[in-house]
Amino acid sequence: MSAGPMSAVPSGSSGEPPRGRQGAARAADRSDHRQAGVGRSGGRSRHPHGADGRGRHRHHRSGTGVEPMTGPASDIATDLHFPAPIANIIADVAYQMRLRTDDVVGPRRTAPLIDARAAIVWVARELIEASNCMLGRALGGRRHGVIEAAYQNAAVLRDCDPAFRRLTERLLEHYHDLQED
């Protein structure tokens, strides 16, 4: 008897790998048990959503995921080597706008966070003449171009949004009063 097309021998049992589509359980199995995100050569994935599976690339200096800053404002100032007034301005703006300080210095870019960063940049520049580089470090490692855009955004918001103008003026008066004492 010859093994024709209607043979009773199941496909793949002759030593050759099965052809066609594999089942869901078969496709998920990794025979060499590689860690997720690691290629055959052992290198990390260059996938745009990050190799750690959390949607972000690992931080370039520490090798860990970017952690938001936590703790009192004085700890933030000493850790990042910028003046304490910037850390206080960040904390005060976050409090006035009912936001978390971690969110203000974090990577998210929602409208309230962008407005808070604009207020911080405007007050800090008016009060202590902070540089873009210093403000960028204080606001979570942002580049000087982002800080310049935040300052321009603050100027526009001060012209068209009375609540934003009141917030920035109130903070500026508060810090001027502290400097006089």
Domain segments of the chain as ranges: 73-180
CB 172 within 8 A of CB 123: yes
pLDDT(139) > 70: yes
User: Bridge-partner residues for 38, per DSSP?
Assistant: 44
Alpha-carbon torsion angle 23, 25, 26, 27, nearest 10? 80
Residue 155, CA distances (Å) to 97, 103, 142 in order: 18, 22, 19
Model confidence, pTM: 0.55
- Count the Cβ atoms, other than its own, within 10 Å of residue 139: 22
CB 98 within 8 A of CB 113: no
DSSP 8-state assignment for residue 20: S
Greatest mean pLDDT among 25-29, 77-81, 131-135, 148-152 lies in: 148-152
Query: pLDDT tens for residues 79-126?
Result: 445 566 889 999 999 999 999 999 999 999 899 999 999 999 999 998
Residue 92, CA distances (Å) to 12, 36, 79, 110 in order: 69, 42, 19, 19
Alpha helices in the chain (DSSP H): 24-28, 73-80, 84-96, 101-104, 111-128, 132-138, 144-160, 162-180
Q: Which fold has domain 73-180?
A: Chromosomal Replication Initiator Protein Dnaa; Chain: A; (1.10.1750)
* pLDDT of amino acid 142: 92
